[in-house]
Amino acid sequence: METLLEQAFNGLSVGSILLLVAIGLTFTFGQMNVINMAHGELIMIGAYTPYVLQHDFGLAAGLSILLGLFIAFIVAGGVGVAMERGLLSRMVDRPLDTLLVTFGVSLILQQAARDIFGAPNVDVVAPSWLKGSVTLLGVIMPYTRLFIMALVAVIVGGLSVFMARHAEGRRMRAVTQNRDLAAVSGLSPRRVDATTFFLGSGLAGVAGVAVSLIGSIGSQVGSGYIIDAFLVVIVGGLGRMKGTIIAAFALGMLNAYAEFWKNASIGKAIVFMAVIVFLQFRPNGLVSFRTRGLTS
Amino acid sequence: MSDIIINDIHAAYGRTAVLFGISLEVREGELVCVMGRNGVGKTTLLNAITGLMGLTGGSISFDGKDISKASASARARMGIGYVPQGHAVFPQLTTRENLQVVNERLGKPDKEALNEVIDLFPALASLMNRPAGLLSGGQAKQLAIARALITRPKILILDEPTEGIQPSIIHQIEDTINDLHKATGMTMLLVEQYVEFALRLADRYAVMDGGRIVDTGDTATAEMDRFASLIAI
Ligand SMILES: Nc1ncnc2c1ncn2[C@@H]1O[C@H](COP(=O)(O)OP(=O)(O)OP(=O)(O)O)[C@@H](O)[C@H]1O
Ligand SMILES: [Mg+2]
Average pLDDT over residues A45-74: 93
Q: Which of A158-162, B146-150, B213-217 has the lowest mean pLDDT?
A: B213-217
Pairing mode, if any, of strands A133-136 and A139-142? antiparallel
Residue A50 has pLDDT above 80, yes or no: yes
Residue A294 has pLDDT above 50, yes or no: no
Q: Which residue of A has its CA nearest to B135?
A: A292
Q: SS3 sequence, chain A? A: CHHHHHHHHHHHHHHHHHHHHHHHHHHHHHHHCCCCCCHHHHHHHHHHHHHHHHHCCCCCHHHHHHHHHHHHHHHHHHHHHHHHHHCHHHHCCCHHHHHHHHHHHHHHHHHHHHHHHCCCCECCCCCHHHCCEEEECCEEEEHHHHHHHHHHHHHHHHHHHHHHHCHHHHHHHHHHHCHHHHHHCCCCHHHHHHHHHHHHHHHHHHHHHHHHHHCCECCCCCHHHHHHHHHHHHHHCCCCHHHHHHHHHHHHHHHHHHHHHCCHHHHHHHHHHHHHHHHHHCCCCCCCCCCCCCCC
CB contacts, 8 Å: A291 with chain B: 91, 133-134
CB contacts, 8 Å: A293 with chain B: 86-87, 91, 133, 140
| Top-confidence residue, B46 or A265 | B46
| Top-confidence residue, B62 or B197 | B62
Residue A147 has pLDDT above 50, yes or no: yes
CB contacts, 8 Å: A178 with chain B: 88-91
Pairing mode, if any, of strands B16-26 and B65-66? unpaired
Domain ranges within chain A, ordered by starting residue: 2-281
> How many Å apart are CA A30 and CA A238, to the nearest integer?
6
Most confident of A124-138, B68-82, B184-198: B68-82
> How many Å apart are CA B188 and CA B26, to the nearest integer?
8
Residue A98 has pLDDT above 70, yes or no: yes
Query: Residue B57's domain spans which residues?
Result: 4-231
The pLDDT value recorded for residue A272 is 76
* pLDDT tens digit sequence for A64-79: 999 999 999 999 999 9
Residue A295 has pLDDT above 50, yes or no: no
The pLDDT value recorded for residue A238 is 64
The pLDDT value recorded for residue A217 is 93
Neighbours of B86 (CB within 10 A): 18
CA of B58 to the centre of ligand 1 (A): 20
Nearest residue to B26 (alpha-carbon basis) of B208, B221, B206? B206
When pLDDT is cut at 50, 70 and 90, the band that residue B2 belongs to is low
Window 94-133 of B: residues touching A by CB (8 A cutoff) are: 97, 100-102, 104-106, 131, 133
> How many Å apart are CA A106 and CA A220, to the nearest integer?
10
CA of A2 to the centre of ligand 2 (A): 64
Residue A99 has pLDDT above 50, yes or no: yes
The pLDDT value recorded for residue A239 is 60
Please name the residue whose Cα sits nearest to atom 14 of ligand 1. Answer: B41
Give the orientation angle of helix A241-261 with respect to helix A223-236, to 10 degrees.
120
> How many Å apart are CA B145 and CA B157, to the nearest integer?
10
One-letter amino acid at A265 equals S
Residue A203 has pLDDT above 50, yes or no: yes
> How many Å apart are CA A65 and CA A7, to the nearest integer?
26
One-letter amino acid at A175 equals V
> How many Å apart are CA B68 and CA B61, to the nearest integer?
7
The pLDDT value recorded for residue B1 is 55
* Per-chain mean pLDDT for chain B: 91
> At a CB cut-off of 8 Å and minimum separation 6, what does B110 contact?
B103, B150, B152
Is B76 near chain A, with CB under 8 Å?
Answer: yes
Q: Does the CB atom of residue B210 touch ligand 1 within 6 A?
A: no
* pLDDT tens digit sequence for A148-173: 999 999 999 999 999 999 999 999 99
Residue A1 has pLDDT above 70, yes or no: no
- Interface with chain B: mutation pick from A181, A287, A294, A295, highest number of B CBs within 10 Å: A181
Percent of chain A with pLDDT over 90: 46
CATH number of the domain enclosing B140: 3.40.50.300
Min distance A158 CA to chain B CA atoms (Å): 19
Residue A293 has pLDDT above 80, yes or no: no
Residue A200 has pLDDT above 80, yes or no: yes
> At a CB cut-off of 8 Å and minimum separation 6, what does B167 contact?
none
The pLDDT value recorded for residue A291 is 46
The pLDDT value recorded for residue A288 is 59
Average pLDDT over residues B201-226: 86
Kind plus residue range of the DSSP H or E element containing B156: strand B155-159
Domain count of the fold of chain B: 1
pTM of the shown model: 0.88
When pLDDT is cut at 50, 70 and 90, the band that residue A43 belongs to is very high
| Top-confidence residue, B62 or A256 | B62
| Top-confidence residue, B39 or A275 | B39
Q: Does the CB atom of residue B11 touch ligand 1 within 6 A?
A: no
Architecture of the domain whose range is A2-281 = Orthogonal Bundle (1.10)
* Per-chain mean pLDDT for chain A: 87
One-letter amino acid at B144 equals A
Average pLDDT over residues A75-101: 89
